[in-house]
């Protein structure tokens, strides 16, 4: 499949290029850093997939999707972002983007999302789906958690200890301890057992939402 990246961060562009380059079924055929470049490269190359940064310097990535879709409706569009703002996610879904992936996702998650979208399905980051599905009382606490803290909370719900969490998330035990402390504070619970019970009550599972 042919892919175009629209992002104005050089390091992000380089990182995405490396991730895509090792996949035998993926070809990076163009890059853009702004609206004008995006329109030109998408119109010229007609890619299968367009990865679009949500927050470009002078324009929203959603505006890029709107315009580029008019030029080439056959392409599928995946939003990449660090934003966990529910309004951003809501607008993206209303626009009908094919995918929404947080930039702290593991490379294999992004690759999986690209392949699913290419096959005609939609992929929305599970963290954002969790936020949208848990808006009732006390869920403002859940919204305070960062994507990494939510992963730690999921692991606590599975009954994992710090060593196992560190291994699962590829981080140090010291980092896990810091995240656990933050999770307990933000959820206003006294220990990891209560945090685990909260995770199970809210059905926060370690799964990927695929539509």
Least-confidence region, from 20-34, 51-65, 158-172, 189-203: 189-203
pLDDT score recorded for residue 199: 87
Q: Is the pLDDT of residue 102 over 50?
A: yes
Domain ranges of the chain: 2-129, 135-201
Which sign, positive or negative, has the C-alpha torsion 158, 161, 164, 168? positive
Mean pLDDT across the chain = 89
pLDDT band at 135 (very low <50, low <70, confident <90, very high): low
Domain 135-201 has CATH 1.10.150.120: no
Does pLDDT of 207 surpass 80? no
pLDDT at 202 over 80: no
Domain 2-129: which topology? Rossmann fold (3.40.50)
> With DSSP H G I counted as helix, E B as strand and the rest as coil, what are the percentages for the chain, rounded to 5?
55, 15, 30
DSSP assignment of 1-34, as one string? -EEEEE-S-HHHHHHHHHHHHT-TT-EEEEEESS
The predicted pLDDT at position 192 comes to 92
User: According to the model, what pLDDT value does residue 134 have?
Assistant: 60
104-128 tens-digit pLDDT: 888 999 999 999 999 999 999 988 8
pLDDT at 63 over 60: yes
Q: Which one has a higher pLDDT value, 203 or 73?
A: 73
Render 117-148 in DSSP notation, one character per residue.
HHTT--EE-HHHHHHHH--STTHHHHHTS-HH
Q: How far apart are CA 139 and CA 145, in angstroms?
A: 10
CA 18/CA 48 separation, integer angstroms: 18
> 138 pLDDT band (50/70/90 cuts)?
low
Alpha-carbon distance of 125 to 137, in angstroms, equals 23
């Amino acid at each position: 499949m042919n892919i175009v990246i629209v992002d104005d961060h050089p390091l992000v562009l380089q990182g995405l290029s490396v991730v895509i380059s090792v996949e035998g079924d993926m070809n990076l055929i163009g890059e853009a850093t702004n609206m004008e470049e995006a329109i030109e490269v998408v119109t010229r190359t007609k890619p299968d997939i367009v990865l679009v940064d949500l927050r470009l310097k002078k324009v929203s990535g959603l505006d890029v999707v709107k315009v580029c879709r008019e030029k080439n409706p056959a392409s599928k569009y995946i939003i990449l972002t660090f934003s966990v703002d529910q309004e951003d996610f809501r607008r993206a879904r209303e626009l009908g983007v094919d995918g929404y992936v947080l930039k702290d996702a593991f490379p294999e998650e992004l690759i999986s999302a690209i392949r699913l979208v290419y096959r005609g399905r939609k992929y929305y980051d599970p963290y954002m789906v969790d936020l949208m599905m848990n808006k009732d009382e006390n869920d403002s606490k859940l919204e305070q958690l960062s994507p990494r803290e939510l992963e730690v909370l999921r692991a606590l719900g599975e009954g994992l200890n710090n060593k196992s969490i560190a291994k699962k998330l590829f981080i140090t035990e010291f980092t896990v301890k810091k995240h656990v402390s933050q999770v307990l504070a933000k959820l206003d619970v006294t220990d990891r057992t209560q945090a685990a019970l909260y995770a199970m009550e809210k059905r926060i599972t370690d799964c990927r939402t695929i539509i």
